[in-house]
Protein backbone atom coordinates (compact mmCIF):
# COMPACT_ATOMS: atom_id res chain seq x y z
CA UNK A 1 0.00 0.00 0.00
CA UNK A 2 2.76 2.48 0.94
CA UNK A 3 6.02 2.76 -0.93
CA UNK A 4 9.33 3.49 0.78
CA UNK A 5 9.16 7.22 0.01
CA UNK A 6 5.77 7.74 1.63
CA UNK A 7 5.29 8.81 5.25
CA UNK A 8 4.44 6.47 8.10
CA UNK A 9 0.83 6.21 9.26
CA UNK A 10 1.37 8.66 12.11
CA UNK A 11 3.60 11.59 12.95
CA UNK A 12 4.70 12.05 16.55
CA UNK A 13 5.25 15.69 17.46
CA UNK A 14 7.38 16.54 20.50
CA UNK A 15 7.95 12.88 21.44
CA UNK A 16 9.79 13.77 24.65
CA UNK A 17 6.99 16.06 25.89
CA UNK A 18 6.61 16.02 29.67
CA UNK A 19 2.97 17.10 29.95
CA UNK A 20 0.44 14.59 31.25
CA UNK A 21 -1.77 15.51 28.28
CA UNK A 22 -1.42 13.16 25.31
CA UNK A 23 -2.86 14.88 22.25
CA UNK A 24 -4.37 12.79 19.44
CA UNK A 25 -5.40 13.84 15.92
CA UNK A 26 -7.28 10.98 14.26
CA UNK A 27 -8.18 13.04 11.18
CA UNK A 28 -5.34 15.57 11.10
CA UNK A 29 -3.84 14.52 7.75
CA UNK A 30 -5.07 14.36 4.17
CA UNK A 31 -2.35 12.43 2.33
CA UNK A 32 -3.50 9.70 -0.06
CA UNK A 33 -1.09 6.85 -0.89
CA UNK A 34 0.29 7.02 -4.40
CA UNK A 35 -1.16 3.60 -5.16
CA UNK A 36 -4.70 4.95 -4.69
CA UNK A 37 -4.41 7.78 -7.26
CA UNK A 38 -6.17 10.36 -5.06
CA UNK A 39 -9.11 7.96 -4.74
CA UNK A 40 -10.35 9.40 -8.02
CA UNK A 41 -10.98 12.80 -6.42
CA UNK A 42 -9.66 16.27 -7.14
CA UNK A 43 -7.72 18.33 -4.62
CA UNK A 44 -10.77 20.51 -3.97
CA UNK A 45 -12.69 17.51 -2.63
CA UNK A 46 -9.77 16.12 -0.64
CA UNK A 47 -9.31 19.56 0.94
CA UNK A 48 -12.91 19.65 2.18
CA UNK A 49 -13.97 18.45 5.60
CA UNK A 50 -14.64 15.00 4.15
CA UNK A 51 -10.90 14.53 3.63
CA UNK A 52 -9.59 15.67 7.01
CA UNK A 53 -10.26 17.70 10.13
CA UNK A 54 -9.34 21.17 8.92
CA UNK A 55 -6.98 23.06 11.23
CA UNK A 56 -6.22 20.22 13.64
CA UNK A 57 -2.69 19.45 12.46
CA UNK A 58 -1.63 23.07 13.03
CA UNK A 59 -3.57 23.41 16.28
CA UNK A 60 -2.09 20.20 17.69
CA UNK A 61 1.41 21.32 16.70
CA UNK A 62 0.93 24.61 18.53
CA UNK A 63 -0.49 22.93 21.62
CA UNK A 64 2.33 20.40 21.71
CA UNK A 65 4.81 23.25 22.01
CA UNK A 66 2.74 25.40 24.38
CA UNK A 67 1.91 22.53 26.77
CA UNK A 68 5.11 20.53 26.20
CA UNK A 69 2.84 17.66 25.19
CA UNK A 70 3.20 14.71 22.84
CA UNK A 71 0.93 15.00 19.79
CA UNK A 72 0.25 11.88 17.72
CA UNK A 73 -1.49 12.70 14.46
CA UNK A 74 -2.77 10.62 11.60
CA UNK A 75 -1.02 11.49 8.33
CA UNK A 76 -3.42 9.93 5.82
CA UNK A 77 -6.87 11.10 4.81
CA UNK A 78 -9.88 9.77 6.63
CA UNK A 79 -11.21 8.84 3.18
CA UNK A 80 -8.40 6.29 2.82
CA UNK A 81 -9.39 4.79 6.17
CA UNK A 82 -10.96 6.48 9.17
CA UNK A 83 -8.83 5.71 12.22
CA UNK A 84 -11.63 6.79 14.56
CA UNK A 85 -13.79 3.91 13.34
CA UNK A 86 -13.65 0.19 13.95
CA UNK A 87 -11.70 -1.05 10.92
CA UNK A 88 -14.47 -3.53 10.14
CA UNK A 89 -17.18 -0.86 10.05
CA UNK A 90 -18.66 0.04 6.67
CA UNK A 91 -18.00 3.75 7.17
CA UNK A 92 -14.32 3.20 7.97
CA UNK A 93 -13.78 3.38 4.19
CA UNK A 94 -16.78 5.35 2.91
CA UNK A 95 -17.98 4.99 -0.66
CA UNK A 96 -19.89 8.27 -0.26
CA UNK A 97 -19.07 11.11 2.15
CA UNK A 98 -21.36 14.14 2.62
CA UNK A 99 -22.77 13.68 -0.87
CA UNK A 100 -19.42 13.10 -2.57
CA UNK A 101 -18.91 9.74 -4.25
CA UNK A 102 -15.40 8.38 -3.65
CA UNK A 103 -14.54 6.28 -6.73
CA UNK A 104 -11.46 4.75 -5.15
CA UNK A 105 -13.58 3.31 -2.35
CA UNK A 106 -16.22 1.68 -4.51
CA UNK A 107 -16.69 -2.10 -4.42
CA UNK A 108 -13.48 -2.79 -2.51
CA UNK A 109 -12.47 -6.38 -2.07
CA UNK A 110 -11.78 -7.76 1.38
CA UNK A 111 -8.10 -7.87 0.48
CA UNK A 112 -8.07 -4.21 -0.54
CA UNK A 113 -9.72 -3.19 2.73
CA UNK A 114 -7.30 -5.34 4.71
CA UNK A 115 -4.34 -3.69 2.99
CA UNK A 116 -5.44 -0.25 4.22
CA UNK A 117 -6.01 -1.55 7.73
CA UNK A 118 -2.57 -3.14 7.80
CA UNK A 119 -0.73 -0.14 6.33
CA UNK A 120 -2.47 2.71 8.19
CA UNK A 121 -5.09 1.85 10.82
CA UNK A 122 -3.19 -0.83 12.74
CA UNK A 123 0.16 1.01 12.95
CA UNK A 124 -1.51 4.28 13.94
CA UNK A 125 -3.17 2.69 16.93
CA UNK A 126 -0.04 0.71 17.73
CA UNK A 127 1.87 4.00 18.02
CA UNK A 128 -0.72 5.35 20.47
CA UNK A 129 -0.64 2.11 22.48
CA UNK A 130 3.16 2.13 22.58
CA UNK A 131 3.21 5.71 23.85
CA UNK A 132 0.74 4.82 26.58
CA UNK A 133 2.85 1.81 27.58
CA UNK A 134 5.96 4.01 27.69
CA UNK A 135 4.23 6.50 29.94
CA UNK A 136 2.98 3.79 32.29
CA UNK A 137 6.49 2.34 32.55
CA UNK A 138 7.88 5.80 33.29
CA UNK A 139 5.20 6.54 35.88
CA UNK A 140 3.95 9.46 33.79
CA UNK A 141 0.24 10.28 34.31
CA UNK A 142 -1.86 10.58 31.17
CA UNK A 143 -5.01 12.38 30.10
CA UNK A 144 -5.99 11.50 26.54
CA UNK A 145 -7.11 14.55 24.55
CA UNK A 146 -8.60 13.85 21.11
CA UNK A 147 -8.70 16.92 18.87
CA UNK A 148 -11.29 17.14 16.10
CA UNK A 149 -12.95 19.82 13.99
CA UNK A 150 -16.37 19.94 12.35
CA UNK A 151 -17.84 21.63 9.31
CA UNK A 152 -20.00 24.72 10.02
CA UNK A 153 -22.85 23.32 7.91
CA UNK A 154 -23.85 19.71 7.32
CA UNK A 155 -26.47 18.70 4.78
CA UNK A 156 -27.62 22.30 4.60
CA UNK A 157 -28.08 22.68 8.36
CA UNK A 158 -25.99 25.30 10.15
CA UNK A 159 -24.24 24.29 13.35
CA UNK A 160 -24.27 27.05 15.96
CA UNK A 161 -21.66 25.62 18.33
CA UNK A 162 -18.17 27.07 18.45
CA UNK A 163 -16.95 23.89 20.10
CA UNK A 164 -18.22 20.71 21.65
CA UNK A 165 -17.17 18.14 24.20
CA UNK A 166 -17.80 14.44 23.58
CA UNK A 167 -17.99 11.91 26.40
CA UNK A 168 -19.80 8.71 27.30
CA UNK A 169 -20.06 8.39 31.06
CA UNK A 170 -16.93 6.26 31.42
CA UNK A 171 -14.43 8.03 33.64
CA UNK A 172 -15.53 11.33 32.14
CA UNK A 173 -14.71 13.75 34.96
CA UNK A 174 -12.14 15.51 32.79
CA UNK A 175 -14.56 15.78 29.88
CA UNK A 176 -17.28 17.25 32.10
CA UNK A 177 -14.77 19.66 33.64
CA UNK A 178 -13.72 20.76 30.13
CA UNK A 179 -17.38 21.36 29.32
CA UNK A 180 -17.73 23.54 32.42
CA UNK A 181 -14.58 25.52 31.61
CA UNK A 182 -15.75 26.16 28.05
CA UNK A 183 -19.19 27.23 29.28
CA UNK A 184 -17.64 29.71 31.69
CA UNK A 185 -16.57 31.74 28.64
CA UNK A 186 -19.64 33.80 27.62
CA UNK A 187 -18.26 34.22 24.11
CA UNK A 188 -18.61 30.50 23.35
CA UNK A 189 -21.61 28.44 22.29
CA UNK A 190 -20.67 25.00 23.61
CA UNK A 191 -22.15 21.64 22.71
CA UNK A 192 -22.49 18.78 25.17
CA UNK A 193 -22.13 15.72 22.93
CA UNK A 194 -22.78 18.07 20.00
CA UNK A 195 -22.42 18.19 17.04
CA UNK A 196 -21.65 14.50 17.60
CA UNK A 197 -22.24 12.20 20.53
CA UNK A 198 -19.63 9.74 21.68
CA UNK A 199 -21.20 6.39 20.97
CA UNK A 200 -20.32 3.06 19.42
CA UNK A 201 -19.09 4.84 16.28
CA UNK A 202 -16.07 6.34 18.06
CA UNK A 203 -13.04 4.08 18.24
CA UNK A 204 -9.91 5.83 19.53
CA UNK A 205 -11.09 7.03 22.94
CA UNK A 206 -13.00 3.82 23.76
CA UNK A 207 -10.09 1.66 22.70
CA UNK A 208 -7.31 3.49 24.49
CA UNK A 209 -9.01 5.28 27.39
CA UNK A 210 -12.02 3.28 28.49
CA UNK A 211 -10.40 -0.09 29.19
CA UNK A 212 -7.41 1.52 30.89
CA UNK A 213 -9.55 3.88 32.95
CA UNK A 214 -7.72 6.92 31.61
CA UNK A 215 -9.14 10.42 31.99
CA UNK A 216 -10.07 11.73 28.54
CA UNK A 217 -11.77 14.48 26.63
CA UNK A 218 -12.73 14.65 22.96
CA UNK A 219 -12.88 18.24 21.77
CA UNK A 220 -14.61 19.39 18.58
CA UNK A 221 -13.97 22.89 17.17
CA UNK A 222 -15.87 24.44 14.26
CA UNK A 223 -13.67 24.57 11.20
CA UNK A 224 -14.30 28.18 10.20
CA UNK A 225 -12.73 29.16 13.53
CA UNK A 226 -9.54 27.32 12.54
CA UNK A 227 -9.40 28.49 8.93
CA UNK A 228 -6.76 31.17 9.51
CA UNK A 229 -3.52 31.56 11.41
CA UNK A 230 -5.24 34.05 13.70
CA UNK A 231 -7.97 31.55 14.49
CA UNK A 232 -5.49 28.79 15.25
CA UNK A 233 -3.51 31.18 17.44
CA UNK A 234 -6.70 32.10 19.33
CA UNK A 235 -7.73 28.49 19.94
CA UNK A 236 -4.22 27.43 20.84
CA UNK A 237 -4.06 30.14 23.50
CA UNK A 238 -7.55 29.26 24.72
CA UNK A 239 -6.84 25.53 25.08
CA UNK A 240 -3.39 26.13 26.55
CA UNK A 241 -5.16 27.86 29.45
CA UNK A 242 -8.34 25.80 29.55
CA UNK A 243 -6.97 22.26 29.50
CA UNK A 244 -4.95 22.72 32.71
CA UNK A 245 -7.93 24.54 34.25
CA UNK A 246 -10.18 21.58 33.43
CA UNK A 247 -7.61 19.17 34.86
CA UNK A 248 -7.56 21.13 38.12
CA UNK A 249 -11.35 21.20 38.24
CA UNK A 250 -11.56 17.43 37.67
CA UNK A 251 -9.07 16.64 40.43
CA UNK A 252 -10.62 14.95 43.47
CA UNK A 253 -11.18 17.22 46.43
CA UNK A 254 -8.73 16.60 49.30
CA UNK A 255 -10.23 14.75 52.23
pLDDT in tens, 104-126: 999 999 999 999 999 999 999 99
210 backbone dihedrals φ, ψ, rounded to 5°: -65, -55
Number of structural domains, the chain?
A: 1
The helix (H) or strand (E) run that includes residue 116 is: helix 110-116
Residue 3: inside a domain, yes or no?
Answer: no
Question: What would you report as the CA-atom Rg of the chain, rounded to the nearest whole angstrom?
Answer: 18
Residue 102: inside a domain, yes or no?
Answer: yes
Residue 205: inside a domain, yes or no?
Answer: yes
User: Mean of the per-residue pLDDT values for the chain?
Assistant: 95
Beta bridge partners of 217: 145
Residue 36: inside a domain, yes or no?
Answer: yes
Q: What value, to the nearest 5°, has the Cα angle with vertex 168 and ends 166 and 174? A: 65
The CA distance from 255 to 251, in Å, is: 12
Residue 132: inside a domain, yes or no?
Answer: yes
Average pLDDT over residues 176-183: 98
**Cis amide bond preceding 183, omega within 30:** no
Name 208's Cβ contacts closer than 8 Å, sequence gap at least 6: 125, 128, 129, 132, 144, 214
3-class DSSP assignment, residue 31: strand
Residue 2: inside a domain, yes or no?
Answer: no
CB atoms within 10 A of CB 129: 13
Separation of CA 98 from chain center: 19
The CA distance from 87 to 192, in Å, is: 27
Q: Which of 178, 146, 151, 165 is nearest to 243 (CA)?
A: 178
CATH number at residue 44: 3.40.630.40
The CA distance from 255 to 253, in Å, is: 6
Alpha carbons within 13 angstroms on the beta-carbon side of residue 57 total: 14
Chain segment 227-237, per-residue pLDDT in tens: 999 999 999 99
Residue 21: inside a domain, yes or no?
Answer: yes
Chain segment 47-63, per-residue pLDDT in tens: 999 999 999 999 999 99
Are 117 and 81 contacting, i.e. CB atoms less than 8 angstroms apart?
yes
Q: Is 0.75 topped by the overall pTM?
A: yes
Q: What pLDDT is attached to residue 171?
A: 87
The CA distance from 215 to 197, in Å, is: 17
The CA distance from 129 to 127, in Å, is: 5
Q: Is pLDDT above 60 for 239?
A: yes
The CA distance from 230 to 251, in Å, is: 32
Q: What pLDDT is attached to residue 155?
A: 83
Are 79 and 85 contacting, i.e. CB atoms less than 8 angstroms apart?
no
Residue 180: inside a domain, yes or no?
Answer: yes
Q: Which of 25, 115, 120, 27 is nearest to 71 (CA)?
A: 25
Which residue segment(s) compose the domain that 46 sits in?
Answer: 10-250
Amino acid sequence: MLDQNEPDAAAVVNPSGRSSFLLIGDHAGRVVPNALANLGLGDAELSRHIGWDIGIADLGQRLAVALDAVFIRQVYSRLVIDCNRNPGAADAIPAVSDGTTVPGNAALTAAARAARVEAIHTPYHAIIAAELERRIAAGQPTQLVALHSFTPKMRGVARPWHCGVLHNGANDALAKAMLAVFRADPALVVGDNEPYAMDNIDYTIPRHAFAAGLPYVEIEIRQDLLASRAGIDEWSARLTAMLPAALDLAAPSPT
